Chains A and B, each alone.
Chain A
Amino acid sequence: MAETASMAETAAIGAPRAAYPLDALALGARSIEAARLTALGPAARLAFRGREAAIQAAGEAFGVALPREANRRHTADGRHALWLGPDEWMLLAPGADPAPLFAAIEAATAGLPHALVDVSARSVTIEVAGPKAAYVLNQGNPLDLSIEAFPVGSATRTLFHKAEIVLSRIAPDIFHVDVWRSFAPYVWQMLEDGRRELA
């Protein structure tokens, strides 16, 4: 699942090299099959807020209908729309350049009451995968992560130890943890600590 900082993006930008807070930590990760940790590559992340009138237009422009059911994630063509609140969604496009996406959604929702903010750089995503993924997450997260209570397609803003995260279940044994940059090393190290007993 890991995508390294895409060559295309680096080339387009020119000289400056992108650097992410987990670059070094991810290199030193232990190989523990019961709960694998991966720092996922960059993604376009757009925070969308809006009134009823703007919701459908935003979803159409993004290419994923925005879920209206609480704590759900909709996926289409590798893009995800996460319900985070009654008027709040996170639009996720792994590997994509945020600028054209932003422009397209802004164009489609022009004149409709909404707010679109590019937060692509605000967070990074960690994948926790393996039969003990939920167990490791439950060391710092108080939710019931059983498949019945938190099925595939669930997404929620929640906590991992003392950091705020957005948690999504991608597959029965695969979770994505979206965390603000400066909290990412803390979350990573807490995940490492949590899965240490499974080595």
Chain B
Amino acid sequence: MTNRFRTHSGGRIDRGAPVSFRFDGKTYSGFKGDTLASALIANGVHLVGRSFKYHRPRGFISAGSDEPNALVNVARDAARMSPNLRATQVELYEGLKASSQNRWPSLGFDAGAANDFVSPFLPAGFYYKTFMWPAGAWKRFYEPKIRAMAGLGVAPTLPDPDRYTQNYAYCDVLVVGAGPAGLAAALAAAAGGAKVWLVDEQAELGGSLLAERTATIEGKPAQQWLADTLATLAAMDNVTLLPRTTAFAYFPHNMIALAERVTEHLAAPGADLPRERLWQLRAREVVLATGALERPLVFPDNDRPGVLLADSARTYLNRYGAKPGDRAVIFTACDAGYRTALDLAAGGVAVVAVADLRREVHGELPARALAAGIDVRPATVVTGTTGRLRVSGARLAKIKGGPSVDPVGASETIACDTVLMSGGFTPSVHLFSQSRGKLAWDAASGAYLPGTSVERERSAGACRGITGLQRVLEDGYGQGEAAAKASRDAASPARGATPPPGPSAKTFPAQADDLGTDGFIGATPHARNPAFTKAFVDWQNDVTAKDITLATREGFRSIEHVKRYTTTGMATDQGKTSNMNTLGIVAEALGESVPKIGLTTFRPPFTPTTFGLFAGAARGDQFDPVRKTAIHDWAAEHGAAFEDVSLWKRAWYFPKALPDGRREDLHAAVGRECKAVRSSVGMFDASTLGKIEVVGPDAAEFMNRMYTNAWAKLEPGRLRYGVMLREDGFVMDDGVVGRMAPDRFHVTTTTGGAPRVLAHMEDYLQTEWPDLDVWLTSTTEQWAVIAVQGPKAREVLAPLIEGIDLAKEAFPHMSVREGTILGVPTRLFSVSFTGELGFEVNVPAQYGRAVWEAIFAAGERFGITPYGTETMHVLRAEKGYIIVGQETDGTQVPDDVNLGWAVGKAKKDFVGKRSLARAAMSAPDRKQLVGLRTTDPKLVLEEGAQIVADPKAPVPVPMLGFVTSSYYSAVLGHSIALAVVKGGRARIGTRLSVPMPDRVIEVEIVEPVFYDPKGDRLNG
């Protein structure tokens, strides 16, 4: 394809670097420096999409991030496929593949366009009015149909293979927007030595200067001045320049989120570069130099491909050398239309007419247009366009003076292939508004401008309503200077309006067209049948002027309600082109002033942002830390299956290879492991248990207050099982505690409870008892813990231990000794969570694996069996030992789970004591821990199953309790279960029912200790 609409010279494209790309399967060529939009326009392509609701053919409206129409899909491959990218921001690279959206079977012929013909039945709020009948049809018919029709673009189905990174950064002055105001602000701030960041969403810094043809600054052509200024800034160490970077969110305390597109514009990005980078930048001072957005005019058929914003057309022509057409009709409410007309004429585009909404036209630009022989028509509107997939003509009509039934006279159709509109400029106050700054209506310019600031921020240039290149530059410089000065002042945030431009320290003599503040908001008049005309306000959500007036007729007054009812301004462009016109239409319909109607709130993000940017590196294996013990790799090498316990990976069971090559299942492995522990010896990695060293002269007093047990009489060298309550008296955690010395306790907690218990202790220590001389140190990761359990445990360990007498009398159950194992210092506990003789070997973590392997080797002659958490659970359940969080759910007092013995009745106080004294805490019908036996010994109950007295009772059946733990005990040869049941202890020996979906299971209530009820085996 040729670039038929390319100018012969000029623009910022690199004409020596042609680039080939594909759009909807067709190959085109453009140049380096083009956007997808400018390259398509240079090729004469304006039809690029179908609209959201009516599937109307659509073309480009703007040349920037405010583009509502030209949303395309850009795909590097099946996984790297981005829907809904604005073609105006997609930089061209060799081989780029883009396609249009929301059309089937093709862009030129789209079946969904039938919606356009039934549009009288799809008015604003039609969702709320239709699909009401029949009642069941919503779920079965309407919703699936609407879902199939709705939405733009197609999400990729493969995982995103790209990388995204996130950075925190700090600066003195952040300048958002690198147009003339931003550049001048950066110059001023940087001159004072401040650390300055200048960011801009475009591929090149320069803003409006990039499209300047005739303006001069400081005696140089604007583009030369821009190049010199960027070179100056780039050479300064204290300046960071970031193009392709959108300041998309303004958070409290000047935290600004920046989305930097790192590789999106590259044909072959390296694998090491992130696709995008999220900057979370904390700026002492912010200068917003975000410019102004050109407003469309709302006239019938204003969505025909070939209808563009006038200043955007000028950008395509001057910056990219792309002509919007051959014959242009311009419809304007301000001088911007004339500036575009003059540039088009100079660029070889015939300007056949300028329709000016204003009754009188004077000033320099119109005069120059007249002098250039352009047909200028004051008090004239465009009342429609002709053409189907591209505009072929514009209907022009004179506005009638005085009261009249028809607001306009007869129309005349003028042939053209592009219609360029300008309703004036809307200051871009998005970020200011996000910062919670208060907007103020400026009647003189008909715009909302930044009013009272909340953050340490100031606006500069066009975004605060300043016009004229020289005034904008000087305002930018002044604000940059003030920001740098304020950044050196640590005083409290400035709250107030940005001051009017004072005498700038520097003048910027500039020659440029001043467009002034003329403009129009609302819908322009026409005399056509409203039933058959569509004048679009919001292109992306297909909202017309008619929809807005309908909403007001139906009683909507608040702009927030009109917005939600009609969906205007709710598309991904956030109403950048539509908000002000909506306001104008509502104001006129209600006969109110614009500030009375208000303005909707601007919310982040300024432009759509990828999920990848927010996820950053936190994905896949790196989503959360995966905590592994020192013994983990040994377990993995020995075929262990693992389960997640909080962030830890714990060995779950160790399936053995079977003779036929398969591996044991959970059931077989656990049965074997349990039998080994009960009959000989097993070993278990208990390293994940939480450990806290409680040290200080007041350690025992602190323990007394934190735990229900009495600690004062516990001698050094002894262990005790401790129970910790919350303030409300319910069991919070448990664990074995060793007294290492009079002033030192080795506390263990549950694996998942470790951080919570430490925080709970610290909370009391710091807020309630700061007088206690005691300190807490987490030692969870200091120690690897190896539990050796079973009748042969002592025989396995004895040859390895030095300095500790393992004899039963010297080292009774529930003791702790310090010595060495194979030369490694150890804290050796005689403790059991299995009901067998048992020890827990604590060694510094780096020796965990080596000691584990040594014990494994020493135990070989006894058939020592490594076991996992599942076997640990079964063994403890056989003994009726509870697990906090399994037998408890935060509503059990100690007595409910048979731990009443652990409460020191004589103690003066402990956390939760007072709550335990409440009558309800000792009521006889509280749920109490019991055991369950099923009549069928093979049947394993489901954990969580409800327990009832009479399953045939009318619904709702009274629930007596539920199953908390349930296993098959290979050792006992029958299933076992623990449960909490109302008044359970009194029901022991009776039968209750567990109703399941397919049957009712009868259970006997039994004592919760199934194995060795006397505890003889503990002592070996």
Contacts and interface: CB of A to CB of B under 8 A. Distances in A.
Nearest to A135: B167
A47 B846 contact: no
A13 B848 CA distance: 13
Given A49-B777, A120-B844, A197-B165, A186 B626 contact: yes
Interface in A124-154: 135, 138-144, 146, 149
A141 B823 CA distance: 40
A158 B272 CA distance: 27
A189 B622 contact: yes
Contacts of A5: 846
Chain A contact patch, size range: 35 or more
Contact of A138 (B168, B647, B846, B849): B168
A192 B87 CA distance: 35
Contacts of B509: none
B781 A15 contact: no
Interface in A149-199: 149, 161-163, 180-183, 185-187, 189-190, 193-194, 196-197, 199
B779 A163 contact: no
A14 B695 contact: no
A68 interface: no
B696 A114 contact: yes
A49 B762 CA distance: 13
A183 B783 CA distance: 15
A181 B631 CA distance: 12
Nearest to B166: A139
B846 A121 contact: yes
A180 B773 contact: no
Nearest to A149: B170
Interface string B462-481: 00000000000000000000
Interface in B766-809: 773-775, 777-783
Given A16-B847, A122-B782, A162-B624, A182 B617 contact: no
Interface stretch (A17-25, A59-67, A72-80): A17-25
Given A142-B280, A181-B781, A19 B773 contact: no
A123 B553 CA distance: 69
A116 B743 CA distance: 11
B625 A119 contact: no
B825 A162 contact: no
Nearest to B784: A121
Given A117-B693, A117-B777, A183-B627, A19 B167 contact: no
A140 B170 CA distance: 14
A94 to B, nearest CB: 15
B697 A19 contact: no
B169 interface: yes
A83 B655 CA distance: 48
Given A19-B849, A122-B845, A139-B165, A161 B617 contact: yes
B670 to A, nearest CB: 26
Contacts of A193: 163, 165, 617, 622
Nearest to B274: A197
A42 B167 contact: no
A113 B165 CA distance: 47
B368 interface: no
A40 B824 CA distance: 22
A181 B630 contact: yes
A2 interface: no
B167 A15 contact: no
B779 A14 contact: no
A142 B274 contact: no
B165 A115 contact: no
Contact of A15 (B780, B822, B845): B822
A121 B845 contact: yes
B851 A16 contact: yes
Contact of A194 (B165, B169, B825): B165
A182 B628 contact: yes
Interface in B644-667: 647-648
Interface string B156-178: 00000001011111100000000
Contacts of A114: 696, 775
A18 B630 CA distance: 10
A141 B167 CA distance: 8
Nearest to A87: B775
Contacts of B273: 197
Interface in B804-852: 822-825, 844-851
Contact of A18 (B165, B618, B846, B854): B846
A107 interface: no
B683 to A, nearest CB: 16
23 contacts: A5-B846, A15-B822, A15-B823, A16-B823, A19-B630, A21-B630, A49-B775, A87-B775, A113-B696, A115-B695, A115-B774, A119-B782, A121-B781, A143-B168, A144-B282, A146-B170, A161-B617, A162-B625, A163-B625, A182-B648, A183-B627, A190-B622, A194-B617
Interface of B: 163, 165-170, 272-274, 280, 282, 617-618, 621-622, 624-630, 647-648, 693, 695-697, 773-775, 777-783, 822-825, 844-851, 854
Interchain residue pairs A-B with the least CB separation, the first 4? A16-B850, A14-B823, A115-B695, A49-B775
